[in-house]
Amino acid sequence: MFDLVIRNAWLHDGSGAPAQRGALAVSGGRIAAIGADLGPGRREIDAQGLALMPGIIDGHTHYDAQLTWDPFADPSPPLGVTTAVIGNCGFTIAPCRPADRDLTMRNLTQVEGMSLDALRAGIRWDFESIPQYMDMLQASRPGVNVAAFAGHSAIRTYVMGEGAHQRVATDAEIARMADLVREAMAHGAVGFASSTNEPHNGWNGIPMPSRLADAREMLALTRAMGESGRGLFMLTKGNVTPMAQLEEIAEQSGRPVLIAAMFHNNTDPSRVFDELALMQAARERGHALIPQVSACPLTMDFTLHSAYLFESIPAWKTAISLEGEPLRALYASPDFRAAVKADLERQQGRGLFNGEWHLMQVAQAARPDNIGLEGRTVLELATAQGCHPLDWLLDFALSENLDTYFTAQLRNTDVQAVGQLVADPATHVSLSDAGAHLTFLCDAGFGLHLLGHWARDQQALSLAQAVHKLTGHPARLFGIADRGLLREGLAADLLLFDPATVGRGRNERRFDLPAGASRLRAQGIGVHGVWVNGEQVVDANGLLPDAPRAGSLLREFQA
């Protein structure tokens, strides 16, 4: 007798092969049998022709902090995710000395859009080292499977203190950092993650520590990772990092380099394809440079209290550390506005926001008499008043005490181009950034969006290929040998869904973080069940109220 049998399903096995109609049985948390006619189960489900696939592996999340207060990594499981990779971009919370906790939280607040109150109230600091953090995650039993990167910025702060934000490292400091990378790999880290990305600033707009690393530090730390004979180097790449440097890292470390964030940018439309071509050429020379792309438009909701999307504009730096009256006075100042406009002209497609005012809208007005403006673009509203869009934006926000919510589409809005990126067999589709930018966006439902929007609606790739991109492909990439496919003996991480309706629903704003802080939260559509290691955690109504903590910290990876 099996624990569970799901019958009459279209089985998408994660390999990219066409679906087969059949049944799947689970026993002891593993897939026990797959076939046309299986014996009885203690629990039987008639799927009535729904699709069954391996659970989604989300390769780019930032649940490092959230997992210490929310073991389920909400909202990922109801969106089909059964494995989350944390520590991306190198923004981990371990290692961290007690004295550095507040600085670490302030940096996360800025760089990942989490409220400082939420972090202070939420994080359980029962660890100092990376092994201690990993042991704590395992002991508290996560609700999803978790794989953790060792994080460059945390390691740098641990070794260099305040200097981590200010200067290049000495040989002795690099040697100590390399030892911490070795220690993390020995305790089951999935790899080493870093960022050289310009919008990645910490408290008061100071660059995150990894942005201060020189080429010799990057090479030493990735080689330390490579000594383990496994692992990936994950990098969110800024404009300053040449592809040749990354190819050298792949060569010297002997390990793949996973390169984020490969978005399509309307104001520099060939750039992403040029970079993909460089990576392809490197792969042909035997050096695994792998582009990480997103299935979602990069959309940010923001108020002018804290407008992350403008923070890579040099003239905006003065605004980052201000609030209240001084911030309002700055926004009103003609000099500030002139400087921002000049920078926007100069940066020519290199910023996070590049002057696409026609893709910025009023999302939620603060004053009832302005509700009629919701959904209208900043460009059309400014044109109607005969002023520059920046002036309109700042004047309007000031008239609403900066409480207006705006929404801006910053990347990945070109259907043709993005369809090409997600369908390319070489790309790793992820970049949900789940657990981060919580007040600005929620792309945790990226997998459902790939299945519904890109496979079913746009037909950019087949459903079987889309399933592969979310399961078998990332499992192989991260060396997760016992997941990502429907095969006898593998872990029973499963997603039961309706291909006719699957997708991601609207985001809603909730105030359910620690200290009552707000976040955007996506709803799934067409999800009928999610199982983690054979235990059901989600049904058609979402996360089960008594969902078991069935996940595990993954520590063994194939080379």
Site for Zn ion, rule CB under 5 A: 88-89, 433
Q: Degrees (nearest 5) of the Cα angle 52, 57, 63?
A: 135
Nearest residue (CB) to Zn ion, 89 versus 382: 89
DSSP 96-138: --GGGHHHHHHHHHHHH---HHHHHHH-----SSHHHHHHHHH
Work out how close the CB of 88 gets to Zn ion at its nearest, in angstroms, rounded to a whole number.
Answer: 4
Residue closer to Zn ion (CB basis): 89 or 423: 89
Alpha carbon distance 319, 295 (integer Å): 32
Identify which of residues 88 and 533 has a Cβ nearer to Zn ion in the complex. Answer: 88
Nearer to Zn ion, 185 or 235 (CB): 235
> Between residues 68 and 88, which has the closer beta carbon with respect to Zn ion?
88
Coil, strand or helix at 296: coil
What DSSP string describes 10-29?
EE--SSSPPPEEEEEEEETT
Residue 7 sits at φ, ψ, to 5 deg, of -110, 165
- Residue nearer to Zn ion on the CB measure, 258 or 455: 258
Q: Specify the residue, 16 or 256, whose C-beta has the smaller distance to Zn ion.
A: 256
Query: What is the residue type of 23?
Result: A
Q: Is the torsion defined by CA of 456, 460, 465, 471 positive or negative?
A: negative
Helix, strand, coil: what percent of the chain each, to 5? 40, 25, 40
Q: How far is CA 69 from CA 62, 65, 74, 242, 527, in A?
A: 14, 8, 11, 38, 25
Structure tokens at 248: 């050298």
- CB of 90 vs Zn ion, minimal distance in Å: 9
Per-position b or e across 138-155, b if 16+ CB within 10 A of its CB: beeebbbbbbbbbbbbbb
Compute CA distances 404 → 124, 306, 365, whole Å: 33, 11, 5
Closest distance of CB 246 from Zn ion, Å: 17
Q: Which is nearer to Zn ion, 62 or 456 (CB)?
A: 62
Nearer to Zn ion, 68 or 236 (CB): 236
Q: What value does the CA radius of gyration of the chain take, rounded to a whole number of Å?
A: 23
What is the closest distance, in whole angstroms, from the C-beta atom of residue 146 to Zn ion in the complex? 16
Of the two residues 441 and 530, which places its CB atom closer to Zn ion in the complex? 441
- The DSSP annotation for 410-472 comes to EE---HHHHHHHHH-TT-EEE---BTSSTTT---TTHHHHIIIIIIIIS-SS-HHHHHHHHTH
At residue 207, the 3 state secondary structure works out as strand
Taking the complex as a whole, the smallest distance from the CB of residue 62 to Zn ion amounts, in Å, to 6
Peptide bond connecting 95 to the previous residue in cis, omega within 30 degrees of 0: yes
Task: Show the CA angle centred on residue 138, arms to residues 134 and 140, nearest 5°.
Answer: 115
Question: Which residue's CB comes closest to Zn ion?
Answer: 89
Q: What's the min distance (Å) between Cβ of 12 and Zn ion?
A: 28
Determine phi and psi for 517, rounding to 5 degrees. -70, 155
Q: Minimum CB separation from Zn ion for residue 200, in Å?
A: 8
Closest contact distance (angstroms) between CB of 554 and Zn ion is 19
Q: Kindly state the smallest distance separating residue 375's Cβ from Zn ion, in Å.
A: 29
Pairing of strands 542-543, 535-539: antiparallel
To the nearest whole angstrom, how small is the minimum distance from the Cβ of residue 89 to Zn ion? 4
